[in-house]
Structure 1
Amino acid sequence: MINFIKLAPMQDQLDAHIRKKQGLEGQDLLLNTIFALQVEVAELANEVRFFKHWSKDQEPRTAQYYFKDAYGRWDPVSEKYWRMTYGDPEDKDLEGERWKVRNPVLVEYVDCLHFLLSIGNQAQVDWSEITAKNNSGMDMQECFGYLMILISNMWTYKKHPIFDPDIDMHIRHCLSDAVSILWQIAQLLNFTAEDIEAAYLAKHEVNYERQAKGY
């Protein structure tokens, strides 16, 4: 299981840094953050490709190769082109000076995790109480379908607090179920908690760098 107790304070610090950097202190950003999570989940689904019945290529995008051009730009290249030009990727130092590989699915997954943590922090979730329910019977389509519904429900509770003023309580319930489904997606993709944490920490540093560069 993902170590939310470790990652949530880090996300809170990053969000505070962004608020200060962007002049957003004191503003309620929960609706934006929920919407951002929905966008990232869609981007994750696009890389997983499970729904693309019109394509013969329905395998998750777990490897994207890059080569640094003469101007220092990292250009994505196909695996076929890579093999024709540079040989077997397994024989290369993929983190070397001129080439690298990344896992687009894992990158999108941790983007979802960033916003999920941010929503939980804003809704005052007690992360010690968050545990993954057993969703082992759910396939990829069910996971993404129900995850989208849960995120939409969070947005609705926040946008239209008509019947119950305890918005955070409803959002916490939705988020708890979303955590379980996101973990089931990780299981279906054969991601370990260690894989996810390492990718999260790497992207965490990138996010700070982006703020420093005026992203």
Structure 2
Amino acid sequence: MLSTNSLTYLSQQQEKLDQNILTKHNLKSDATIFQKRLIAFFVELGEFANEERSFKYWSRKGAAPKDRQLDEYVDGLHFLLSLGNSVNFDFKNFAQKTNNLPTSTKAKKATDFPLGETYLQLLGHLTDFSSSHSNGDFSKLFANYLEIGAICEYTEAEILEAYRQKNAINFARQANNY
């Protein structure tokens, strides 16, 4: 779970990166950029799932190291934060359902495929949000994504550090004409 302070910090940092990108590439944050962010999030979710590997019933190869998984997880977080900022989502007042999450997480950890239902719910929320652009649908999508982090037992400190590292890389990429 991420604290309110962490969510506010991440939202602000993402806004700085997004403004840097838009300015550097002489773009406006419009419907096309919004759609591209949705697709980018979808791609990053797939990249995360590919490293997390729990859906690969045909493979005996284990999950990627935690730092590699976190790198992909925060790539998705970057685009979700961008999407939330695009719809003026109030990260300061985001109500994470901490009373429901531990029970849900424990139940999912007891299965052979703890993230299966969560991934599928997330895809439904992504579809809903892509049509509505509403704060309510974004809240469900965002909560669902944070639930993935909880199931994977990523700590707030790990997520924040991975985000900081990737954010620095993203700024460096923009400075070097990525």
Partner of 1:144: 119
- Distance of 2:94 and 2:42 partners within structure 1: 20
TM-score, length-normalised on structure 2? 0.85
- Distance of 1:147 and 1:26 partners within structure 2: 24
Partner of 1:54: 58
- Distance of 2:138 and 2:65 partners within structure 1: 26
Report which of the two has the higher share of helix.
2
How much has 1:56 moved relative to structure 2? 1.5
How much has 1:128 moved relative to structure 2? 1.5
Show structure 1 runs of 5+ residues with no match.
64-102, 158-167
Give the 5 Å matches for 1:1-215: 1-2=1-2, 3-25=6-28, 27-28=30-31, 29-57=33-61, 59-62=62-65, 103-133=67-97, 134-135=100-101, 136=104, 137-138=107-108, 139-157=114-132, 168=133, 170=134, 172-215=135-178
Report which of the two has the higher share of strand.
1
How much has 1:176 moved relative to structure 2? 1.1
Q: Deviations over 1:134-186 (max 9, x none)?
A: 242443111111111111222233xxxxxxxxxx4x2x112211222222211
- Distance of 1:26 and 1:113 partners within structure 2: 18
2:129–2:141 contact (8 Å) kept in structure 1: no
- Distance of 1:132 and 1:109 partners within structure 2: 18
- Distance of 1:148 and 1:60 partners within structure 2: 22
- Equivalent position SS for 2:28: coil
Code of the aligned partner of 2:14: Q
- Distance of 1:22 and 1:152 partners within structure 2: 28
How much has 1:12 moved relative to structure 2? 0.5
Cα RMSD of the aligned pairs, angstroms, is 1.5
Matched residue count = 163
Q: Report which of the two structures shows the higher radius of gyration computed on alpha carbons.
A: 1
Q: Which structure has more RCO (C-alpha within 8 Å, separation ≥ 6)? A: 2
Percent sequence identity over matched residues? 31
- Distance of 1:26 and 1:155 partners within structure 2: 16
Show structure 2 runs of 5+ residues with no match.
109-113
Q: Could you tell which deviates more after superposition, 40-49 or 26-35? A: 26-35
How much has 1:127 moved relative to structure 2? 0.9
How much has 1:26 moved relative to structure 2? 5.3
How much has 1:19 moved relative to structure 2? 0.3
